[in-house]
Chain A
Amino acid sequence: MPSIKSTEDLERVVFYHSAHDKSRAARSRVIEYCTTLGVPASAHELSDAFNLFQIAQRIRDDVAKARKDGGAIRFNIAGGTRLMSSAALLVCILEGVPTTYVHDETGEEIQLPLFRLNYADHLSEKQKEILAYLVAHREHPPNETSLAKALGVHKSTMNHHVKQLAAKGVIEIVPDAKDTRAHLIRAAPGVELLVG
Chain B
Amino acid sequence: MPERVLVSTFGFDEAKVLSALRFIPYERLAVLAGGKSMKEAGLRRLQSAERAAGGSLEVVEVDPFDFRSCFQGALGLIEKHRRAGREVRVNVSGGTKVLADAALLAAFQEGVEAYHCEDRPVRLPVLRGVSFTDRLNPAERAVLGCLDRPRPVRKIVERLASDGHAERAVQAAISRLRDQGILSVSLLRGAAIVAVVPAASWFVRTLR
Chain A residues in the interface with B (C-beta under 8 A): 50, 52-53, 77-78, 82-83, 85-86, 89-90, 93-94, 98, 101, 103-105, 110-117, 119, 121-123, 167-170, 188-191, 193-194
Contacts and interface: CB of A to CB of B under 8 A. Distances in A.
Contacts of B181: 98, 111, 113, 116
Nearest to A52: B116
28 contacts: A52-B116, A52-B122, A52-B124, A85-B97, A86-B100, A86-B104, A89-B104, A90-B104, A90-B125, A93-B104, A93-B108, A94-B125, A98-B181, A103-B67, A104-B98, A110-B68, A111-B200, A113-B181, A117-B135, A122-B130, A167-B128, A169-B123, A169-B126, A170-B125, A189-B123, A190-B122, A190-B124, A194-B125
B125 A89 contact: no
A39 B179 CA distance: 27
B113 interface: yes
Contacts of A189: 122-123, 125
Interface of B: 65-68, 92, 96-98, 100-101, 104-105, 108, 113, 116, 118, 122-130, 132, 134-135, 179-182, 197, 199-200, 203-204
A105 B63 CA distance: 11
Contact of A113 (B96, B116, B203): B203
A53 B101 CA distance: 15
A112 B180 CA distance: 11
B68 A82 contact: no
Contact of A110 (B67, B113, B182, B204): B67
Contacts of A112: 67, 105, 203
B128 A169 contact: yes
A112 B36 CA distance: 26
Contacts of B105: 89, 93, 112, 114
Contacts of A110: 67-68, 199
B65 A103 contact: yes
B78 to A, nearest CB: 15
B101 A85 contact: yes
